[in-house]
Amino acid sequence: MELDDINTVAVLGAGNMGHGIAEVAALAGYEVNMRDIKEEFVQNGYEQIEWSLNKLEEKDQIGEGEAAETLGRVTPLVDVGEAVSDADVVIEAVPEKMDIKKDVYQEVEEHAADEAIFATNTSSLSITELSEVTDRKETFCGMHFFNPPVRMQLVEVISGAHTAEATLDVIEALAEDFGKTPVRVHKDSPGFIVNRILVPLMNEACWLVHEGDATIEEVDSTTKYDMGLPMGSFELGDQVGNDVSYHVLEYMHEELGDAYEPCPLLAEKVENDELGKKTGKGFYDYE
Ligand code: CAA
């Protein structure tokens, strides 16, 4: 498949990442089928795209009328068959759990066209292992966006052990057509490149606070004003979703060892459903 053969993109999952990826694809002119398991999830994702597009239009970051036109290219769906049967590329952005993703791929495999490429937005999980539940290991790769996708420039394009070079080429070209800067990740290791660095940083920030060595505000001030990151560690955790960072750490802990043990402070946030901006409360309050 070449870039020119791609017209329709299916995005599985309408959460923080899914709706953002759907928005990016629609802004680049693609027809987008955005699917989630419940009507309310898909509707919520659709409304967030609408909010974001209107914001971009208000600020002249897109042309007049472009918000409505772009939204018109997004079809919200619950039926998985309808979502993937005419898709040239399926980008999966469901929760960061190996079992959930494997179940989704088994279901999607039954409905997708043989030539469709599968790209997972996993933040950390093995691309090779996920590809092995499908019949298209060579046309399966990672396509990892960053939160919020509409604002973040980078996309990691990750090769699994079975991924064909041609698949990486076309997904890289697609990322560029989305207006992004892809970086190719040759080794399918837990957390790839960005999260191998970023998530331990957020975890270490949690340990500092958990052990009483610093406050959230002190840590965030230093990460923001001294290290020059655009957000403090805890602000970033709330932006990414504390459940996402926790699941990434759990997997890295399992695969890479004790240095990646999730801090109890983070576990507590997840248990209390204080997941960050998306639930209105995380390390900070958003209501
Ligand atoms: N769409 C449209 N507008 C949006 C938006 C969206 N999705 N999200 C925020 N905005 C709006 C805000 O509402 C705000 O609007 P008003 O000015 O009208 O209030 C405005 O954008 C804020 O924009 P600014 O340019 O003033 O804000 P900023 O310069 O602080 O940029 C940011 C915001 C791009 C998120 C920046 O803070 C940033 O880069 N943060 C770091 C994010 C990051 O590192 N993400 C990666 C996390 S790791 C990850 O995602 C991977 C993983 O697998 C875990």
CA-proximal residue: ligand 1, atom 13 (nearest): 55
Q: Which pLDDT score, from 0 to 100, does residue 287 have?
A: 81
The domains of the chain are located at: 3-185, 196-278
d(CA 13, CA 109): 16
Q: Please give the positions annotated as active site.
A: 123, 144, 156, 195
Which residue has 């800067």 as its token pair?
Answer: 181
> From CA 104, how far away is CA 12, in angstroms rounded?
9
Pocket test for ligand 1, best of 17, 46, 55, 125 (most atoms within 8 A of CB): 55
Asked if 103 contacts 96 with a C-beta cutoff of 8 angstroms, the reply is no
CATH 1.10.1040.10 fits 196-278, yes or no: yes
Tell me, rounded to whole angstroms, the distance of Cα 74 from its chain centroid: 18
User: Three-class SS of residue 225?
Assistant: helix
- Give the pLDDT confidence of 17-36 residue by residue, as tens digits: 999 999 999 999 999 999 99
Q: What is the pLDDT of residues 202-234, one digit of tens each?
A: 999 999 999 999 999 999 999 999 888 999 999
Question: What are the backbone dihedrals phi and psi of residue 20, each rounded to the nearest 5 degrees, phi first?
Answer: -65, -40
Can you list the residues of the chain whose pLDDT is less than 70? Answer: none
Q: What confidence score (pLDDT) does residue 29 get?
A: 98
Looking at ligand 1, which residue's alpha carbon is closest to its atom 23? Answer: 151
Which residues does 278 contact at the CB level (< 8 Å), separation at least 6?
15, 16, 241
195 lines ligand 1 (CB under 6 A): yes
CATH number, domain 3-185: 3.40.50.720
